[in-house]
Amino acid sequence: MNVVSQLYQLQEVDLALESNEQALSQIASQLGESQAVVSAQAELTLEHQCLEELRRRQHSAEWEIDDLSSKISTAEEKLYSGRIGNPKELASLQHEVEELRARRDQLEDRALAIIEQVELATANVATKSNKLKDLEAEWRRQQQQLSADMEQHKTILSGLNHKRQLLSAQIAPQPVEFYHELKKQKGTAVAKVEQGICRGCRILLPTTELQRARGGNLVQCGSCGRILFLA
Ligand SMILES: [Zn+2]
């Protein structure tokens, strides 16, 4: 194999190394916390807080209703005990019972409305909790896939690095150095020649340059300076 073919192979390995390294850093950036999971957790926490507050209000309304009920019982017991003979006192007690009952009715309506809200919030918590579970499962699956991909790229990279070492060792130091210099200047050091055209700069090459390149000599494109490679 002539030196140009070897340099072209080296370039192929370098390109593969670069693309694998890019893929690896892309994967690394995707590893870690998921924004979707974090916001779903925050939403669920809020919904939980809302439900707790509603339950607190429900219990407090229920306690108040119990309290009123026992007050009503006591007043009614007194009212129907026959112990009160004074009509004015009886009327006032009757009025008191009516007021207590009205207050209890109001509270019962309010408690019912709160219970409806509790049911709604309970359903919301269940929905959001399921959504979070799905997102977490999806995130775990993604992370596992990313870790597997990462391992795969690392294996490929180590294979490529090994191949690169072997290739470099086969080429004389001077062309390798020249290759690196050109690569630094132009991004790609070796340009393929197709139908007499340098693929590096898309210029039609003179016949003399082509002939010299065809012989396997290290020839630079007269236009872009890249090493010409004829497959
Ligand atoms: Zn060129």
111-148 per-position pLDDT tens digit: 999 999 999 999 999 999 999 999 999 999 999 999 99
Distance 15 CA to ligand 1 centre (A): 19
Distance 115 CA to ligand 1 centre (A): 79
| Count of beta carbons in the 10 Å neighbourhood of residue 80 | 10
| Count of beta carbons in the 10 Å neighbourhood of residue 117 | 17
Q: Which residues of the chain have pLDDT under 70?
A: none
- Look up residue 206 and give its DSSP letter: P
Distance 209 CA to ligand 1 centre (A): 11
Question: How remote is the C-alpha of 130 from its chain's centroid?
Answer: 17
Distance 201 CA to ligand 1 centre (A): 4
In the block, tokens 């795969």 appear at 152
What pLDDT was estimated at residue 85?
87
pLDDT tens digits along 191-210: 999 999 999 999 999 999 99
Distance 173 CA to ligand 1 centre (A): 24
150, 27 in Cβ contact below 8 A? Answer: yes
Distance 98 CA to ligand 1 centre (A): 103
Distance 182 CA to ligand 1 centre (A): 12
Distance 73 CA to ligand 1 centre (A): 104
